[in-house]
Amino acid sequence: MATEETGGVELSEAQIAVHWREEEYYHPTNKVIAGANASDPAILERFAEENFPDCFREYAELLSWDQYWHTTLDTSHAPFWKWFVGGKLNASYNCVDRHLVDKANKAALIWVPEPLDEPTQAITYRELYRRVNEYAVMLRDFCGVKFGDRVTLHMPMVPELPAIMLACARLGAIHSEVFGGFSGTACGDRIADAGSKLLITIDGYYRAGQLIDHKVKADEAIEVAKKHGQTVERVMVFRRHQGRYLSETPMVDGRDFFVDDVMPQYRGQTVAPLSVPAETPLFLMYSSGTTGRPKGAQHCHGGYLAYAAGTTKFYLDVHPDDTYWCFADIGWITGHSYIVYGPLALGTTSVMYEGAPTWPDAARPWQIAERLGVNIFHTAPTTIRMLRKLGPDEPAKYDYHFKVMCTVGEPIEPEVWRWYYNSVGKKEASIADTWWLTETGGHIGATLPGLQPMKPGSCGPGALGIYPVLLDEDGNVVPRGSGVAGNICIRNPWPGTLQTVWGDDERFLSTYYRRYNRNPDSQDWHDWPFLCGDGAVESADGYFRILGRIDDVINVAGHRLGTKELESAALTVEEVAEAAAVPVRDELRGRVVELYVALKPGYSASKRIEDGVVEAIEREIGKVARPKNVWIVPDMPKTRSGKIMRRVITGISNFSDVGDTSTLANPEVVEEVRQQVQTAKRERGEVPVEAGEGS
């Protein structure tokens, strides 16, 4: 919906934040300030625009370089920025080897399995070094992995995942981890796009008290990749319990191997970390965009790692002796940057939890925090909402003390923020509401926990060395404090930014840069604002409220789902002629998906077709994308040119204004669909609180 209030930016009703009121500041406690990595305002000066790009040397100097760089930022091939050019290093060395000198016996990872009767595992830096080396030898000698090869991982939250990522990095191979909850089909698409010949997976894992068969997805993935012309030659299968195979699917002779069967021959072997130029790709992370095909954001050893380490140090306030728990999944960028690369580069202890936040009940996170002495806690609004709903009084019963808490992935409602602050943080902890994207590698908007006041619902100002700006449709700057929304862009390059979209430079240019580029031949970074894809409002104090995606992306519980991907999945159902996916406000998950479908002539609506659509989405994408409702409608509201008006059905699903319908080709259908959907929703008790009677 483009209104005066949103400054003409196309925002759907559901994307408009529920909090427009200016919130009051919360200040960090003296204790947090006293212990913080950033408490002196001089840091803001050091990262001020006049010191760009050299300010980022401070991040790069957190790493160990085999060869120092000669050029901090090379803009000659804009906007394919190169950071720390001439520098050589290895991410695996930086996260593991270099800590052996003084931290060999310190826990690098503490892994908490979901089942209560399984013991927690502490993996020291020495032990991690052994595992990473042995896996690297296995990858090289058993799987034939070489420098630059892509290796697809489809792994849940087990400690083998970070170890195998670091093993790939050691060889200069590029890992591409696919979120474990994604389907075999989604994994197969990503294998094909990356051109991987090797898949690393596991037989099963625990989630919400269930043992999930995971290997079955590998077989599907390989079939799908093959259809796209990509042959997977080898599948390495970890076993959740050594020596015991949990999956129902048979191992394929000559293709599938158990990791624990082949590992004994590599016991104690090591491989030197390959010293690579800073801009060597480290991994791909696929995310959804405007078109159906997910895009592989390419991140590198030098700039990315420096940025992950720097932001971990200053925004999560991680010190080596902290016990830090990021309650995200390594299958997403948050886990890459803030469970694995950032914390391990700084030599801290990073906690990993296998399962669901509320298993067996809503006290689990606080029990873990108490038991392990976690002092930095990191999670997403969807988890906070869920824990608040199921166990609002649980945190007070446990003796833990956080100094910093992070929230990431979607806007947090001020009311939820306050519960997080008062109850979870016990009024002692600073909250860092970190706004960023898969593509940015690390935080781009947040407050420094020991220096900048917090404001519920706002992420804060641009992160150190990041200069955001709101632009309107014509590229004019939307003034600070005007209350008008704009497209939030970053004016400058930064080391964590994606290098390109894997195999598709054109898509990289068109997605992030074409919109506001002033001159395609320019080598001056000032001409290349980076389009983040979010709508935002900037308060007079320079704090940003992120309103949500402006493209066809639905952010469900902090996970990005492309409407096109969802609709394509629905269209695989025989009877479906048209499909439209819309975001619907949800108390716990922030947003959920509802699908509207119209059937081909000759078919009539049935529960079977609805179920078929749900199944298709789970099969093509994964359970994470499961729609809340499937509405089989007689027709879609359409423009005269035949475009489905998502704004209208989004309004219907959210009981909000559907906007002007006079220009539709079939305005009469709006009322019919509204009756159908809203009556059913009332019966199901799905009326939002703010939608009054008769709305």
Q: Which stretch binds ligand PRX (CB under 6 A): 106-114, 271-279, 436-444, 649-657?
A: 436-444
Q: Is there a contact between 488 and 532 (Cβ–Cβ < 8 Å)?
A: yes
Q: Which two three-digit tokens encode residue 35?
A: 């212990």
Collapsing DSSP to helix, strand or coil, 361 comes out as coil
Choose between 386 and 459: whose C-beta lies nearer to ligand PRX: 459
| C-beta closer to ligand PRX: residue 352 or 380 | 380
Q: How many whole angstroms separate alpha carbon 32 and alpha carbon 356?
A: 30
The position carrying tokens 């939890």 is 353
Binding-site residue total for ligand PRX (CB under 6 A)? Answer: 21
* Alpha helical stretches, state H, 289-358: 303-315, 333-335, 342-345
Q: Is 336 in the site for ligand PRX (CB under 6 A)?
A: no
* Residue 326 binds ligand PRX (CB under 6 A): no
- How far apart (Å, rounded) are the C-alpha atoms in residues 160 and 164? 6
Q: Tell me how far, at minimum, the Cβ of 3 lies from ligand PRX, in Å.
A: 20
Kindly state the smallest distance separating residue 489's Cβ from ligand PRX, in Å.
12
**Cβ nearer to ligand PRX, comparing 558 with 651:** 558
Nearer to ligand PRX, 328 or 478 (CB): 328
Q: Residue 335, interface with ligand PRX (CB under 6 A)?
A: no
- For residues 563 and 554, is the Cβ–Cβ distance under 8 A? yes
The secondary structure of residue 251, as a DSSP letter, is P
287 binds ligand PRX (CB under 6 A): yes
497 binds ligand PRX (CB under 6 A): no
The answer to whether 436 contacts ligand PRX (rule: CB under 6 A) is yes
Interface with ligand PRX, residue 555, by CB under 6 A: yes
Q: Give residue for tokens 């059913």.
A: 680
Would you say 411 and 591 are in contact if contact means Cβ atoms under 8 Å apart?
A: no
CB 408 to ligand PRX: min, Å: 5
Give the tokens for residue 592.
């959920």
Q: Which of 334, 349, 375, 447 binds ligand PRX (CB under 6 A)?
A: 334
Place of tokens 């704004």: 647
Rounded to a whole number of angstroms, the CA Rg of the chain reads 24
**Interface stretch with ligand PRX, choices 53-61, 120-128, 427-435, 584-592 (CB under 6 A):** 427-435
Q: Does 548 bind ligand PRX (CB under 6 A)?
A: yes
Q: Closer CB to ligand PRX, residue 17 or residue 259?
A: 17
**Shortest CB 446 distance to ligand PRX, Å:** 8
Asked if 15 is part of the footprint of ligand PRX (rule: CB under 6 A), the reply reads: no
Strands 376-379 and 404-408: parallel
Q: Other CB atoms closer than 10 Å to residue 303's CB: what's the count? A: 30
Whichever of 347 and 558 has its CB closer to ligand PRX, that residue is 558
CB 439 within 8 A of CB 513: no
Closest distance between ligand PRX and the C-beta of residue 323, in Å?
22
Q: Which of residues 383-412 bind ligand PRX (CB under 6 A)?
A: 408-411
Please tell me whether residue 182 binds ligand PRX under the rule CB under 6 A. no
Nearest-CA neighbor of 159 among 352, 343, 341, 329?
352
* DSSP three-state, residue 266: helix
Binding mask 605-644 for ligand PRX (x = CB under 6 A): ----------------------------------------
Is 534 among the residues that bind ligand PRX (CB under 6 A)? yes
Token readout for 644 is 């489905």
Residue of minimal CB distance from ligand PRX? 438
* Site track for ligand PRX across 441-460, x = CB under 6 A: ------------------x-
Kindly list the distances between the CA atom of residue 571 and the CA atoms of 145, 283, 580, 614, in Å, as whole numbers in the listed order.
38, 32, 10, 11
To ligand PRX, the closest distance from the beta carbon of 532 in angstroms equals 6
Q: Choose between 103 and 336: whose C-beta lies nearer to ligand PRX.
A: 336
In which element (H, E) is residue 72 found?
strand 71-74
Compare residues 219 and 534 and give the one whose CB is closer to ligand PRX.
Answer: 534
Q: What is the DSSP string of 182-199?
A: B-HHHHHHHHHHHT-SEE
Q: Is residue 96 helix, strand or coil?
A: coil
Calpha distance 365→378 (Å, rounded):
11
> Residue 282 and residue 390: Cα distance in Å, rounded?
39
Our finding on whether 437 is near ligand PRX (CB under 6 A) is: yes
Cis ω for the linkage preceding 53 (within 30 of 0): yes
Any idea how long the chain is? 695
Site for ligand PRX contains 433 (CB under 6 A): yes
- In eight-state DSSP terms, residue 140 is I
Pick 286 or 631: Cβ nearer ligand PRX: 286
Which residue(s) pair with 287 in the sheet?
295
Output the smallest distance, CB 129 to ligand PRX, in A: 29
Say if residues 76 and 523 touch (Cβ distance below 8 Å): yes
The least distance separating ligand PRX from the CB of residue 422, rounded to whole angstroms, comes to 19
d(CA 346, CA 338): 11
> C-beta of 391: minimal distance to ligand PRX in Å?
23
Closer residue to ligand PRX, CB minimum distance, 372 or 384: 384
Least Å distance between CB 506 and ligand PRX? 20
Q: Closer to ligand PRX at the Cβ: 179 or 467?
A: 179
Interface pick for ligand PRX out of 75, 247, 438, 656 (rule CB under 6 A): 438
State the residues that interact with ligand PRX by CB under 6 A. 287, 333-334, 408-411, 433-438, 459, 533-534, 546, 548-549, 555, 560
